[in-house]
Amino acid sequence: MPDVYRGAAAVEPVAGLMAQLAASGSAVVRPVPAASGALTVTVPTALGPMHAMVVEAAAGTMLDVDDLIESRAWAWGQALAAVHQAAAGIDAGLPVAFGQLVQVPERFGDDPALVKAAARLGSRLAALARDHSRFGVIHGDFELDNLAWEGERVTAFDFDEAAVCWYAADIAYAVRVLTDPVGHPLVERQGLFAAFVAGYRIVRPLDDADLASLRLFTGVHAVCALVRIDQALGVPGEDEPAWLAELRAKLAVIDRSHGELAIAIAEDV
């Protein structure tokens, strides 16, 4: 993890969370300590300081959405709920999610529609309950490409986006392959979505209000992604190589789509 993106103070709690979860028996990859006993180390490189963590290999294979059947979607939902359940009460020193929302007026002051949408989404977030059944430590990126499968047993890795947040926000981000851009389950994947929810409910409560909030979180995720992309774009250099200019152009297209999505959802939540 480059220090310019995230400092050591943000990386170390992630390693601590993973270590505690693995020690408790959760299906999570275990960090491997350095010779010093530290779970993370900072090393100098030509690109600046980098923070590193080594983890044990996750047994199994990765799946994509075309490999999913309802029993696997059920196991996927159950696995996420199990992480939420195991992490409840762990004081890992993680940040509260969605801190990027407050940056929107400054970064996008020339886009009043986006600023208005972010404000509306933020006000809706502020009105949500934060009781322990709905709010706690989340994985942050529980997509299929961050899971290893042995049959229908799931092992999770890549906790880089772990934070304190609403559990439904974690669900909304995880199941994006099962929903349309604004968060509705795709017709052809409704069975998989229902199986995911059923699997989650075996371990933890998930009521209709939680499910109704998934669209809100889809919009908030879009705004936060927009801020991160804008940070990554930065200011073009005078002698920028062609590949970087092409990447910047692609990110700009994604940037616009996230903005349009956030505005559309904010008008309807």
Per-residue pLDDT 10s for the chain (269 aa) are 999 888 999 999 999 999 999 999 999 999 999 999 999 999 999 989 999 999 999 999 999 999 999 999 999 999 999 999 999 988 889 999 999 999 999 999 999 999 999 999 999 999 999 999 999 999 999 999 999 999 989 999 999 999 999 999 999 999 999 999 999 999 999 999 999 999 999 999 999 999 999 999 999 999 999 999 988 887 777 788 899 889 988 998 898 999 999 999 999 88
Residue 134 pLDDT: 96
SS3 81: helix
Rounded Cα–Cα distance for residues 258 and 121 (Å): 14
Name residue, tokens 């970087």.
Answer: 244
Residue 98 pLDDT: 97
> Where along the chain do its domains lie?
1-57, 58-266
- The pair of three-digit structure tokens given for residue 8, joined into one six-digit string: 């050591």
3-state SS, 205-223, equals: CCCHHHHHCHHHHHHHHHH
Instruction: Look up residue 139 and give its amino acid.
Output: H
Helix axes 242-266, 214-233, angle to 10 degrees: 150
Total-model pTM: 0.94
Residue 135 pLDDT: 97
Distance of alpha carbon 100 from the chain centroid: 13
> Does residue 79 contact residue 27 with C-beta atoms inside 8 Å?
yes
**Class of domain 58-266 as given by CATH:** alpha beta
Name residue, tokens 């992480």.
Answer: 83
Rounded Cα–Cα distance for residues 253 and 171 (Å): 26
